[in-house]
Amino acid sequence: MEARPINDVSYEKYLKEEKLMGSKCRGCGVRFLPPRPICTECHKPEMDWEVVEGKGKLVSFTCIAVGPPSMKEEGFDRNNPYCLGIVEVDPGMRVVARIQGVDARNPETIQIGMPLCAKFLQRGEGETARAVLAFEPA
């Protein structure tokens, strides 16, 4: 695999390429998502990129009715809230992500523990193009 620096810029570049990438410690083998540049378990600095399978379960969530201006631009508001969640892809490996394919207007119907799979939302164009990590019911 190419030697991209282990940082958030590379992580986001991978997301744009629709790849979910974490890091793995060469010393103790612990994996991190998003990638960490230094192992917070054994404190060794040697890390490698690690492909993460985009399957997980919902740990917790919220449905936001008053978001920042960027979400308003995407069409979300009081009448059209968006769901965000914390998703566990492996024990101890979690990410925050948009949750799609659930009824954010009826949050009582969203179940903690539900199985999810990853998708990548391409946003913006040219210089500002980026991908937002999302999950939807598997």
Partner 1 sequence: MEKRRRLGRGVAVVGSGMSKFGMFKDRDSKDLFVEAYRETLSSVDKGMDPQDIDALYLGNFTNDFFIRQGHWGPLISDVIGLVPKPATRTEGACASSALAIREGVFAIASGFYDIVLVGGVEEMSKRSTEEVAEGLALGSTPYEGKIGFTFPGVFGATASAYFAKYGANREHLMNVTIKSHNNAPLNPKGQYKATIRDLMQAKQEKAREKGLDVPEWADEKAFLGDSSANPEVAWPLHLFDCCPISDGASCLILVAEEVARSFTDDPLYIIGLGQGSGKGLHAKADLTCFEATQYAAKEAYGMAGIEPKDVQIAEVHDCFSIAEIVHLEDLGFSKPGEGYKMVEEGRTRLDGDKPINTSGGLKCKGHPVGATGVSQVHEIWKQLRQEAGPRQVPIKDLRIGATHNLGGTGGTCTLTILERR
The site for partner 1 (CB under 8 A) is made up of 8, 33-34, 59-72, 76, 78, 81-82, 84-86, 92, 94-98, 107, 112, 130, 132-133
Closest separation in Å from C-beta 69 to partner 1: 5
Closer Cβ to partner 1, 65 or 117, answer by number: 65
Cα–Cα distance for residue pair 8/5, rounded to 1 Å? 9
Query: Around Cβ 47, how many Cβ atoms within 10 Å?
Result: 21
Between residues 2 and 37, which has the closer beta carbon with respect to partner 1?
A: 37
Residue type, 59: V
Q: With CA atoms as reference, report the closest residue to 121 among 113, 130, 132.
A: 132
| Distance of closest approach, residue 106 Cβ to partner 1, in angstroms | 10
| Closest distance to partner 1 from the beta carbon of 122 (Å) | 14
Which phi and psi angles does 136 have, rounded to 5°? -140, 160
Decide whether 2 or 70 has the Cβ nearer to partner 1.
70
> SS3 of 16, please?
helix
Give dist(CA 32, CA 92) in Å, integer. Answer: 8
Closest CB to partner 1 among residues 45, 92: 92
Nearest-approach distance from CB 67 to partner 1, in angstroms: 5
Element (H, E) at 95: strand 93-99
